[in-house]
Amino acid sequence: MNTILQLHQLDKKYGNIHAVNQLSFRLERGNVYGILGPNGSGKSTTLGMLLNVVNPTSGSFQWFNGKISTHEALKKIGAIIERPNFYPYMTARQNLELVCKIKEVSFSKIDEKLILVNLFERKNDRFSTYSLGMKQRLAIASALLNDPEILILDEPTNGLDPKGIQDIRSIIKLISQQGTTILLASHLLDEVEKVCSHVVVLQKGKKLYEGRTEQMTQSFGMIEIKTDKTFEEISKLLQNYSGIDKITNEPDYVLCYLNQDIDSALLNKFLTEKNILVSHLRKTKPTLEQRFLDLTE
């Protein structure tokens, strides 16, 4: 069985705030999962519950098919859910040696992980001299020292400059190519789209979507039509046209939402044959942001 984690109606209330609302989803080995949602949608609370630092109000979750205790499962998980913090006066290598001692891992892993996050050349520099991006990369190296089956990251690129963001995203891809499952929380649609194969969209603690990332953002688009007829006449005529899902009246045109890929030339021909004068017909695709807003609205 390839299931790494299963959530069953996991729920967290802070007084009147329903931070996580009956959340269920499943993670399969080898994928990169994103928990996507605006600020306050319950991402960090969810990760906190999965890592045993927040107590659920109700519901449950099972790591690795429930065959081992959560305490044992945590040893197979690498997680960064806070800003990276190491001893500033110690070098990167010394900091990782300390982590190895705590995790009871051989020092031999250190160079391998420093190479992976591209910090090998800087391993003898003090942590205090590191940029924010380097600190985050060191935190990833540290979380990987015990070769976890899954790496959990909360907003991994927060506060980084474009180069730092790109570095982290490339490292995440590299780690996943090596077979490690990844679960990251992000409020950035663009980040999830670029990095994650699968996504769980949260809003106010509730799951809105779960599935492959490209399916969330897939759309057949829309067609704008301007004619000499009224909205009522056009919508009556097109209500049964195959491929048109919904028709709305916009200030400058009638907007047809598509549920399959239709040929705009054929639609034009159809309208012309009905003696309709078409002055504007244009096929458009909604932006990714629009798709996300549609989903979260």
In the complex with ligand ATP, which residue's Cβ is closer, 114 or 152?
Answer: 152
Instruction: Please tell me the distance from the alpha carbon of residue 225 to that of residue 143, in angstroms, as a whole number.
Output: 54
Q: What are phi and psi of 162, to 5 degrees?
A: -55, -40
**Which listed residue (16, 39, 55, 279) binds ligand ATP by CB under 6 A?**
39
Residue 78 burial by Cβ neighbours in a 10 Å radius (0-12, 13-18, 19+): buried
Assess 34 for contact with ligand ATP (CB under 6 A).
no
Piece of the chain touching ligand ATP by CB under 6 A; list 12-20, 67-75, 95-103, 284-292: 12-20
Piece of the chain touching ligand ATP by CB under 6 A; list 40-48, 67-75, 76-84, 144-152: 40-48
CB of 54 to ligand ATP, least distance (A): 8
Burial profile 239-256: b = 16 or more Cβ within 10 angstroms, e = fewer = eeeebbeebeeeeebbeb
Assess 41 for contact with ligand ATP (CB under 6 A).
yes
Assess 203 for contact with ligand ATP (CB under 6 A).
no
Assess 279 for contact with ligand ATP (CB under 6 A).
no
Nearest residue to 142 via CA among 173, 177, 101: 101
Assess 137 for contact with ligand ATP (CB under 6 A).
no
CB of 158 to ligand ATP, least distance (A): 9
Assess 43 for contact with ligand ATP (CB under 6 A).
yes
Assess 17 for contact with ligand ATP (CB under 6 A).
yes
Assess 37 for contact with ligand ATP (CB under 6 A).
yes
User: What does the block give as tokens for 169?
Assistant: 């995203």
Assess 206 for contact with ligand ATP (CB under 6 A).
no
Assess 42 for contact with ligand ATP (CB under 6 A).
yes
Residue 118 makes CB contacts below 8 A (sequence gap 6+) with 137, 167, 171
- Helix, strand, coil abundance in the chain, percent, nearest 5: 35, 30, 35
3-class DSSP assignment, residue 161 = coil
**Which listed residue (4, 11, 45, 271) binds ligand ATP by CB under 6 A?**
45
Which residues in the 172-191 window bind ligand ATP by CB under 6 A?
187
Q: Reduce the secondary structure of 261-281 to three states and give it as a string.
A: CCCHHHHHHHHHHCCCCEEEE
Assess 115 for contact with ligand ATP (CB under 6 A).
no
Nearest residue to 63 via CA among 72, 277, 54: 72
CB of 185 to ligand ATP, least distance (A): 6
Assess 40 for contact with ligand ATP (CB under 6 A).
yes
Query: DSSP assignment, residue 87?
Result: -
Residues near ligand ATP, by CB under 6 A: 14, 17, 19, 37, 39-45, 187
